[in-house]
Structure 1
Amino acid sequence: MRVLVLTTSYPRDAGDVAGRFVQDAVEHLRAEGVEVAVVSPASFRHFGIAYGDGIANNLRAAPWRLLLLPLFFLSFARAARRAAGGADVVHAHWLPSAVAGLATRRPLVVQLWGTDVELAKRLPWLFRPVLRRARVVVCASRALAADARALGAGDVRVIASGVDIPAAVGEPDEPPHVLYVGRLSEEKGVRELAEAAAGLPLAVVGDGPLRHLFPQAVGFVPRDELGAYYERAAVVVVPSRREGYGVVAREAMAHGRAVVATRVGGLPDAIEDGVTGLLVPPCEVGALRAALERLLGDAELRARLGSAARERARAAFSWDAAAAATLAADRDAHTPG
């Protein structure tokens, strides 16, 4: 089977973290014997709209780039059409990629991740027709699936994105500290984190427009170095205001670490409050700080939650399961009914 993957975010080199989970999915499909080609802004002119701080933040920081969006979509569509020859199905990650996917006239699978759903809610007249024309819509969480159905999608499937499960993990550093991994931007809740974690031991891996709030931030790190950060941490925090899936929470769980996360989007799909982590309301600084202090001060609770989280990750977030479900969706789109 030949699949063309369209994505607005994909690593440009070994050290690039942009769209890394899409690359992981591609590599695991290839391991299943699928022939996969990829078109991303790394392979066509994107007019400064992609990469950097992400499309939404780039447009917010420079609104004049909105005038370039038609050129961006035209460039994307041309690249998609060129690459689509011989493809059995087009698998588009994020709705903007699906717009380009329509130009290929191939069976279309659309995979939603969260930020694109928020955009679709603001512009339903533009994106409803795209979702209705998709043969299969893949969502990483039940919350996203509900949004997709409300926007007119027909065949909607919830497929958890896989994460690597380490064969073994060591003990965290002493004294214990909290770890944040991800983009340093408003939607990730890092402004609330900066206030909630004031005076607490906090390590930060990431970059973005709010990096000035975290002088200790080390920026993004190569993927083969990230596991060591999870292993050294006692607690991993995911304070997002919205989160379609929550890869970081699941990676932390795979490393057996207790997670404090907000009760938004796809995070409650992974974290059962008091069993595999702690959930707090979004944007509530006091609740976030209380949860962090509770775990930093209770090694027994951290160990219990971390152990249960690792077992949950083994059972639900393996790459084998994710690749098999994705391949089934692509095959069904190619031969509907």
Structure 2
Amino acid sequence: MKGNTNKILVFSTAYYPFVGGAEVAIKEITDHLYKDFQFDLITARFDKNLPYVEKVGKVTVYRLGSGKPKLDKLLLPFRGAILAWKLTNKEKYYCLWAVMVTFGSGAGFILNICRKLSGKGRIPIVLTLQEGDSENHLQYKWAGLIALSWKLALRSTDLLTGISNFLIDRAKKNGYRGNAVLVPNGVDLSIFSQEIKDSVKKDLLIKLDKKPDDIFLVTAGRLTHKNAIDDVVSALVTLPKNVVFIVIGKGDEGVNLQAQARKLGVADRVKFLGFIPYEDIPKYFSISDIFIRPSRSEGFGNSFIEAMAAGLPVIATPVGGIVDFIDDCETGVFCSPDNPQSISKAVMTLSGDFNLKSKIIENAKNRVRERYGWDKIALEMKNVFDRLA
């Protein structure tokens, strides 16, 4: 098929207003590349109050479903393929962009199967890996169906991008033999490197009741098992009582984490803030002392580089894609996975060594500025699309 040389059809299970690392990446890249490419996107509707079609930034978004999340997700590969068939007949896309191996991207692969069977010819697919799940989840969840979907998707991919070396290596271990390009996620430096007004900080200090000698640990992201928020709660038991944990985000583990904090007697030192708008997160970072997420698995970890850009020292685990941007005691401090005692030691190391903390903050800021601005990331993705043009 000879398509329009600047029109790309994107497949993503979720999209704005539902926001995670993958959704932020799609929006930032499409916002930066709108002069070079035209983007349409197929996604699940999830909420009956959302329009079926609308312009979000520079992307025309097509939402499918009745607004029932589970049903919309399960039917998305098939509904998405039907809509994509109609769109590709009308718009002549030269490239499909599948984001993650999931329900949304499945529509793109099914579309190509149908096109091949009908004699129309398949459209080249760029697959971007963003997954942060563990190897155990990949291999055994849903009786191995996730592992099977990975193998099938990788076999049908023309060009692979991964947000970390870890994910590219995982793809190769699962049978991918084609070209692969490292294109990490980025950070909006205008948001996370901005100076926060003293009046805003003062209001937050009062709101969160931060005392002069308090040390605020902060985390941001989904409250899931893989992010190991429970290990930080456990670590509070052995940390000084002036160490307080600020939790930004929602998720399935929220109720369990609150129960755990009560059971351990540290509920007064864990503040669950729930959902905070993306552009407001830097305000909370500005009155915190250490960013922490002792992940059990991680594809990349946008929140880490956002905290680094904001000038917060980071405590992390050397798992998955984290090792691409954190060097121990240079751009962050490592603790061990599933080890609250190691977390306590890392917190005390950072809070007790001013010179180390200052060095890490400066090095981390420089690394983010040099590698992870969206201007740079979008250009790298443009080069990927150009290879298929």
Report the TM-score range of the alignment, normalised by the length of the smaller protein: 0.7 to 0.9
Q: Shift of residue 168 of structure 1?
A: 4.6
Paired residues of 2:134 and 2:296 also in contact (CA < 8 A): no
- Structure 1: tracts of 5 or more residues without a match: 51-64
**Aligned residue pairs, count:** 314
- For 2:380 and 2:42, how far apart are their aligned partners in 1? 22
Give 2:93's match in structure 1, choosing from 87, 98, 103. 87
Q: Shift of residue 302 of structure 1?
A: 1.9
Give 2:184's match in structure 1, choosing from 156, 160, 169. 160
Q: Which residue of 2 aligns with 1:56?
A: none
Matched, 1:25 2:29: yes
Q: Which residue of 1 aligns with 2:127?
A: 110
Matched, 1:303 2:358: yes
Q: Shift of residue 114 of structure 1?
A: 2.0
- For 1:138 and 1:46, how far apart are their aligned partners in 2? 32
- For 1:137 and 1:49, how far apart are their aligned partners in 2? 28
Matched, 1:177 2:201: no
Seen in structure 2, the aligned counterparts of structure 1 residues 108 and 287 have a Cα distance that, compared at 3 Å, is same
Q: Shift of residue 69 of structure 1?
A: 6.8
Paired residues of 1:95 and 1:116 also in contact (CA < 8 A): no
Q: Which residue of 1 aligns with 2:246?
A: 203
Describe how 1:1-337 pairs up with structure 2 within 5 A. Answer: 1-12=6-17, 16-18=18-20, 19-30=23-34, 32-42=35-45, 43-45=63-65, 48-49=68-69, 71-84=75-88, 85-96=91-102, 97-105=104-112, 106-115=123-132, 118=135, 120-121=138-139, 122-123=144-145, 124-153=147-176, 154-166=178-190, 168-169=194-195, 175-198=214-237, 199=241, 200-212=243-255, 213-214=257-258, 216-332=271-387, 334-335=388-389
- For 2:14 and 2:326, how far apart are their aligned partners in 1? 26
Q: Shift of residue 315 of structure 1?
A: 0.6
Paired residues of 2:318 and 2:334 also in contact (CA < 8 A): yes
SS in 1 for 2:189: coil
SS in 2 for 1:104: helix
SS in 1 for 2:271: coil
Seen in structure 2, the aligned counterparts of structure 1 residues 329 and 203 have a Cα distance that, compared at 3 Å, is same
Q: Shift of residue 226 of structure 1?
A: 1.2
Q: Which amino acid aligns with 1:100?
A: A
Q: Shift of residue 260 of structure 1?
A: 0.2
Structure with higher Rg: it is 2
SS in 1 for 2:369: helix
- 1:38-91 Cα offsets, whole Å, 9 max, x none, are 2111311177446xxxxxxxxxxxxxx7xx976342123223334443222111
* Greater shift in the superposed pair: 196-205 or 110-119: 110-119
SS in 2 for 1:202: strand
SS in 2 for 1:256: coil
- 1:177-221 Cα offsets, whole Å, 9 max, x none, are 111001111111112121123442111110112223246211121
- For 1:330 and 1:117, how far apart are their aligned partners in 2? 29
Provide the aligned C-alpha RMSD in A: 2.4
Q: Shift of residue 115 of structure 1?
A: 4.3
Q: Which amino acid aligns with 2:189?
A: I
SS in 2 for 1:137: strand
TM-score (norm 1): 0.85
- 1:233-252 Cα offsets, whole Å, 9 max, x none, are 21101211111011000111
SS in 2 for 1:114: coil
Paired residues of 2:84 and 2:108 also in contact (CA < 8 A): yes
- Structure 2: tracts of 5 or more residues without a match: 1-5, 46-62, 113-122, 206-211, 259-269
Seen in structure 2, the aligned counterparts of structure 1 residues 298 and 92 have a Cα distance that, compared at 3 Å, is same
Q: Shift of residue 304 of structure 1?
A: 1.6
Paired residues of 1:295 and 1:301 also in contact (CA < 8 A): yes
Q: Shift of residue 5 of structure 1?
A: 1.4
Paired residues of 1:137 and 1:157 also in contact (CA < 8 A): yes
- For 2:108 and 2:353, how far apart are their aligned partners in 1? 50
- For 1:78 and 1:117, how far apart are their aligned partners in 2? 32
- For 1:86 and 1:139, how far apart are their aligned partners in 2? 26
Seen in structure 2, the aligned counterparts of structure 1 residues 236 and 70 have a Cα distance that, compared at 3 Å, is closer
Q: Shift of residue 120 of structure 1?
A: 4.9
Q: Which amino acid aligns with 2:65?
A: R
